[in-house]
A and B are shown apart, each in its own frame.
Chain A
Amino acid sequence: MDWLNAIVQGTLLGGLYALFAAGLSIIFGVMRLVNIAHGDLIVLAAYLGLTITMLLGIHPLVALLVLVPVMALIGYGLQRLILNRTLGEDILPPLLVTFGLSVIIQNALLEVYTADPQKLQAGALEIASLNIGGLAIGYLPLLMFVTAVIVIAGLQFIFYRTALGRAFRAVSDNQDIAQLMGLNRRHIFAVAMALSLAVVAIAAIFLGTRTSFDPAVGGGRLIFGFEAVIIGGLGNLWGTLAGGIILGVAQAIGAQLHPGWQILAGHIVFLAILAVRPRGLFPRMDG
C-alpha cells in the first residue's frame, strides 16, 4: 500500500514537473532557446502571485486571472526587448544572457521580498482529500495533475490545430522561409515566450501553494523541468507530461526507500534514461 501510495503521489507531483517543463519545451521547440532563467521566472511568478493575493485579498487560484496575463506580457516584452537580440547562429549568447537574467531575478527578489520563505495560502483546499480504496488523494495535488493534463492538451491543440501553431512550427522549421509567408519571427518568438510564461504562472501558483518558496529555489525547478523535457523527448508535449510523471514517481519511490533519496532517485532515473535513450523516450519523429 505504501508503494502504491508513493506511485500515486509521485504521479500527481509529476503534473507539477510537467508544468515546469512545458514552458521550457515551448520555447526550445519554437526558437531553440534554452532558458536558464526559467526556474527563476517561476519563482518570480510565485512572488507576484503572493503580492496579488495579498493586495486584492483573493485566493491564489483566482489570482491566476491576473497573474497569467501579467506573466504573458512580461514574456512578450522580455523576448522582444532582450532575448531576440541574442538569437543567431551562435548558441552561447542566449545561454549567457538568460544566465545573467537568472542572477538578476534572484537578487531583485532578495531585495524586494527578503530571503524569508513564503507560501501561498489556499485555505481548506490544502488539506482536503479524497479517499479512494484506502489511498488519501489530496484535492490540491489532484487539481495540479488535472491542470497539467489540460494545459498540455491545450498546448497540443494550439500547436497542431491553430494558425498560431502553424506559425510556430513553420518558424521552427525554417525562419527565413517563414518570413516569406509574412510571419515576423521576432513577433512569433515573443508570442511563444508569452505562452511559456503564461504556463509558468500556472506552475508558480501550484508550486507556491504546495510548498514554501524563497528566492533561491529557482535553480532546482529549472533542473526538474529540464529532466522532464529530456526524459520525454525534446519537442514532444505529451512526452513532457510522461517525463514529469516518471520523474515524480522516481522521486516518490526514492523517498519511500530512504527519506534522503528523493531528489537523488530522480536524477539517477534521468541519467539512466539518458544513457539508454539519448533522445528521450518519445522524440519527435521529424526532429
Chain B
Amino acid sequence: MADPVLQIRSLDAFYGDFQALFSLDLEVASDGVIAIIGANGAGKSTLMRSISGMLQNRPDSILYQGEPIGGLRADQVAGKGIALVPEGRQLFPSLSVEENLIIGGRMRRPGPWSLAAIYDLFPILQERRHQASTSLSGGQQQMVAIGRALMANPSLLMFDEISLGLAPVIIRQIYEVLPKIIATGMSAIIVEQDISKALEVSSHVYCLQEGRVSLSGQSDTITREQISEAYFGARSDHGLA
C-alpha cells in the first residue's frame, strides 16, 4: 500500500491556555477520503486549522507526504498543496466571484483545475462571475468556496461542514459532484455533521469527542450504535436523527 498522504501523530492543539485537541492520531491514505464527525465543539475545525497551518503545532505532529508541517504558517502549507474549504465559506467580500476563484489559483500549481473547469462544474458561477460574492445565495457561495479551493489544484482537499446552513436540495447537489471532484486525483478530509452524507462519501470515518478520537473505522462497517456512543460519550438513549 502507498504511503499515507497525511499522518497525524499525537497532536495537541491549544488556544492560549485552552487545550482543544488531545494526543490525536489520524491518517489519510493516498487518494483516500476520510470523514470526520462529532458534536459541536468537539474540535473538528481546530483540527482543520491545525492541518492548514492557521494554528501552529509541534512540527512532527503533522506529517504531509512524510514531511513535518505542523510548525509551518498557513501560506507555506497552502504552497505544499493542502487546501481548505473553511466552515462558513469565508469568501472575500471585496472580491468578485471570479476574483475569489482566481486568488485561489494564485500559486499556479499544475493540475486539472482552472477557471474554465470550475465554470464547467458550476455553470451558474460563470453567469455570476462579475458579481460581488456576497450577492450570491448560500449554495452558490459554497460553490465559490469549493471552486476557490480547487483552483489551487490541491493534493489534499479539506471540507469543513459544507452543508451547514444550506437547503437539503443544495446539499444533495453538492454531494453529488463531490465524489467526481475528488476522483480527479486528490485525497480528501470531509468534516460533516450529516452522518449519512459523511459515511456515503468516505472510506474511513473518525468521530471526535471533546478533542479526542472516540471512534474510528471503515465507513461501510461502522454501526449507528457505535457512532451514537462515540458522539455523546457514555452509552446514551439519544437516537441520531
Contacts and interface: CB of A to CB of B under 8 A. Distances in A.
Interface of A: 163, 166-167, 169-170, 172-174, 176-185, 286
B95 A179 contact: no
Interface of A is mostly: helix
Given A163-B106, A166-B102, A179 B94 contact: no
A172 B94 CA distance: 9
B75 A177 contact: no
B75 A169 contact: no
Interface string B80-107: 0001101000101111000100111011
13 contacts: A163-B102, A166-B95, A166-B99, A166-B106, A167-B103, A170-B95, A173-B93, A174-B90, A179-B74, A181-B78, A182-B75, A182-B106, A183-B75
B20 to A, nearest CB: 16
Contacts of B84: 180
B73 interface: yes
B79 interface: yes
B90 A169 contact: no
A167 B100 CA distance: 10
Given A180-B86, A181-B104, A170 B75 contact: no
Nearest to A163: B106
A167 B132 CA distance: 16
B52 to A, nearest CB: 6
Contacts of B53: 179
A36 to B, nearest CB: 26
A181 B73 contact: no
B203 to A, nearest CB: 26
Contacts of B136: none
A32 to B, nearest CB: 14
Contact of B106 (A174, A176, A181): A181
Which among A169, A179, A182, A286 has the greatest number of chain B C-beta atoms within 10 A?
Answer: A182
Contacts of A173: 92-95
B45 to A, nearest CB: 12
A182 B132 CA distance: 22
Contact of B92 (A163, A170, A184, A185): A170
Given A166-B103, A184-B73, 16 more contacts: A166-B95, A167-B103, A169-B95, A170-B94, A170-B95, A172-B94, A173-B94, A176-B54, A177-B90, A179-B78, A181-B75, A182-B79, A185-B75, A286-B93, A286-B132, A286-B134
A174 B93 CA distance: 9
Contacts of A163: 102, 106
Question: What range describes how many residues of B lie at the interface?
Answer: 20 to 34
A117 to B, nearest CB: 43
Contacts of B92: 169-170, 173-174, 177-178
A172 to B, nearest CB: 7
A181 B152 CA distance: 8
Contacts of A180: 52, 54, 74-75, 78, 83-84, 86
Contacts of A177: 86, 90, 92
Instruction: List the 8 closest A-B pairs by CB distance, nearest first.
Output: A179-B74, A182-B78, A169-B94, A173-B92, A182-B107, A184-B75, A170-B92, A177-B90
Contacts of B132: 286
Contacts of A176: 54, 74
B60 to A, nearest CB: 22
A139 B213 CA distance: 74
Nearest to B85: A180
A50 B237 CA distance: 81
Nearest to B105: A181
Interface in B112-142: 132, 134
Contacts of B104: 181
Contact of A170 (B54, B79, B103): B103
Contacts of B106: 163, 166-167, 181-183
A183 B78 CA distance: 9
Contacts of B102: 163, 166
A183 B53 CA distance: 12
A182 to B, nearest CB: 4
A184 B79 CA distance: 11
